[in-house]
Amino acid sequence: MNSKRRVCHLYERGVVPYAIAHSWQQSLVAERRQNPDLEDVLILLEHPPIYTLGQGATLDFLKFDATQSEWEVVRVERGGEVTYHCPGQLVGYPILNLHTYQKDLHWYLRQLEEVLIRVLAAYGLQGERVPGLTGVWVEGKKLAAIGIKVSRWITMHGFALNVCPDMSGFERIVPCGIVDKPVGSMEQFIPGIQLEDVREQVAIAFAEVFNVHLVQVDLEV
């Protein structure tokens, strides 16, 4: 890794419609394809209730008919199976140029897991990896999901950490296609936890793990 601390722009918002955030990501990635010297970005936000499917995801893990449902379902270019977003879940979208870190997708996934493990540790929770799977678990419950897209070594999509969401939305799917491992939230272990506090911890851990200097900005795309 480059020993010099890069500047990474931190953009924080509350609840943002998925389509808008997706458009932000696409614009930021396109700009960095044209000019690889642009600084990195970390977007932290929440989404209204929505189910997202990875590029190659199967509909078999939906427990409802996506064509005749009140629930919004969208297929996007990330990897992985179906997942659920809703308020109370902290979503992170790093737009990083991996040329300046490591051109290694497995390394990048492990780094994202490390960020989340450190966040959980700040609250006294022991986050764990599961061999062969991507994400972070606490006492057998999956608290964080990760799904990425990397194009010309520029990243988009990212991670989702269940802080204090309404967990009932997960009952309508097989989250990430994993049948035998339940999902969970930080709130189940720490009643009353506040998403705003966790968002701050995520920023701190991200800066440590990726060795960047976060500068809070207003995103203009």
Rounded CA gap, 173 and 64, in Å?
8
**What b/e readout covers 58-83, taking b as 16+ CB neighbours within 10 angstroms?**
eeebbeeeeeeeeebbeebebbbbbb
Cα-based angle 31, 36, 147 (whole degrees, multiple of 5) = 70
Q: Alpha-carbon Rg of the chain, whole angstroms? A: 16
Residue 176 annotated in active site: yes
Say which of 8, 86, 164, 176 is annotated catalytic.
Answer: 176
Rounded CA gap, 30 and 24, in Å?
10
Cα-based angle 213, 217, 218 (whole degrees, multiple of 5) = 160
**91 and 133 in contact (C-beta within 8 Å)?**
no
Helix residue spans in 47-151 (DSSP H): 105-122
Active centre residues (catalytic): 176
